[in-house]
Amino acid sequence: MSAKVKRAILILILSEFLVCLGIGLVIPVMPFLKTQLHLSAFDMGVMTALFAFAQFIASPIIGRISDQVGRKPIIAIGLALYAVSEILFALTNYLSMFDVSRVIGGISAAMVTPTGMALAADITTKRQRAKVIGWLSAAFSGGLILGPGIGGLLAGISYKTPFWFAGGLGLISTIALLILLPKDAEVEEPNHDVAQLQKDMSDMKGNWHDLMIKPVILLFVLILVSSFGLQGFESIYSLFVNEVFHFSIANIALVLTLNGLISLFFQVLLFDRLVVAFQETKLIRLCFLFAFAGTVWIIFAHSKIEVIIATLFVFTAFDLLRPAITTLLTKLSAKNQGLINGLNMSLTSVGNVIGPLMSGALLDMNTHYPYVVVAGFLAISYLLAFAVKIKPKHIA
């Protein structure tokens, strides 16, 4: 791996981390933003859903554009839009402008995250690629983990401080990327096998018929439910614990940061061992069971410590659930990786839009209604997971 390739990868990792950090910054501030500006829980849900919706719409369009104009300009524009989004959020006190800010943020995420992954694939060999994609995934998780904690600490100064901080980092990162990231052609690996590349492109087109088997269809349904359940749980979590258990910004930031560290530990160090010990199908069932149990526990909890422990159960279960489903899907159809990952992202985005809207509307009716509905979906999903039967002939 050349020095220019290493430098490009480092810049991509930092860019990925920054965008995910910005996504997490808003979480502990939401209940206080709601109180200060007299917003409803549904307003907050719409704000969250708009980010996911903009990302969902923009991702495939931007992907095609980046193939034509190159990766570097797209990532640079994405980071600049990220800075604009955060600064706009810090400047305004109007709901409509908050919504505009989150739309811009969603477009920014669509430009930085998938384009960064595409550039990493462009400039690495097959042997290097898994490791580099792993680094980018770790940056993604790390940003989401540290975002709420940093947001909670900075909000101690003012609830607008986290957004000024993120906007400043966005501007610095844009300038650094323009100066330090080499042009696409300068870092492209010269030893790609053209015939193999054409074969890989053909494989990525996929075959819908190969995916129309019961296990694959059920797993796609479970992806949709898991993203819906996670966003339905997470999007109003800070509002719920603030209103019901009187959590402060510091309390919320501490819980989310602790959860992130535990989840990262499970994903990085234990996930492979859990798959070997239980196999993917049993691990999926256990994750749905623990997520259901944790959600029900929160509904009936009477103390902060109960809520914290139950929260850790739920988030850890969700963080293991998605990679378990994705791993199983990749084993079921080795020739349809592009199609599988595209459907995975689309279904996740749908869940990310519907979950916050549903939870926000229900929270305005009753503080416990969102988690009652989420628990119901998780119980159904747990039972549905038993229908996923994998036959040896289905493993490609």
CATH number, residue 88 = 1.20.1250.20
Please check the confidence at residue 59 and state whether its pLDDT lies above 80. no
Q: Which domain holds residue 102?
A: 1-184
Phi, psi of 160 (to 5 degrees): -95, -15
Residues 86 and 154 in one domain: yes
* pLDDT mean over 351-367: 83
Q: Which two tokens stand for residue 196?
A: 């193999």
Contact 262, 141 (CB under 8 A): no
In angstroms, the Cα distances linking 275 to 266, 281, 320, 328 are: 12, 9, 10, 10
Residues 239 and 311 in one domain: yes
Q: Which two tokens stand for residue 13?
A: 């990792």
* pLDDT mean over 56-74: 78
* pLDDT mean over 35-43: 82
Rounded Cα gap, residues 17 and 323, in angstroms: 19
| Domain-located, residue 310 | yes
Of 15 and 332, the one with more pLDDT: 15
Residues 42 and 149 in one domain: yes
Residues 253 and 393 in one domain: yes
Q: Which two tokens stand for residue 35?
A: 């109180």
* pLDDT mean over 124-128: 66
Residues 13 and 142 in one domain: yes
| Domain-located, residue 193 | no
Q: Which two tokens stand for residue 186?
A: 């300068």
* pLDDT mean over 259-285: 81
* pLDDT mean over 354-369: 86
| Domain-located, residue 189 | no
Predicted local confidence at residue 202, as pLDDT: 44
Of 30 and 374, the one with more pLDDT: 374
Give per-residue burial for 140-160: e unless 16+ CB within 10 Å, then b.
bbbbbbbbbbbbbbbbeeebb
pLDDT digits (tens, 9 = 90+) for 217-233: 788 788 888 778 877 88
Q: Is 62 exposed, middle or buried (0-12, 13-18, 19+ CB in 10 A)?
A: buried
Residues 46 and 158 in one domain: yes
Residues 337 and 382 in one domain: yes
Please check the confidence at residue 212 and state whether its pLDDT lies above 70. no
Overall number of domains in the chain? 2
Residues 214 and 155 in one domain: no
Predicted local confidence at residue 128, as pLDDT: 66
Confidence of residue 173 (pLDDT cuts 50, 70, 90): confident
Please check the confidence at residue 295 and state whether its pLDDT lies above 90. yes
Residues 270 and 321 in one domain: yes
Predicted local confidence at residue 219, as pLDDT: 80
Intra-chain end-to-end CA distance of the chain, in Å: 31
Q: Which two tokens stand for residue 92?
A: 């305004």
Residues 116 and 207 in one domain: no
Residues 121 and 232 in one domain: no
| Domain-located, residue 270 | yes
Residues 269 and 320 in one domain: yes
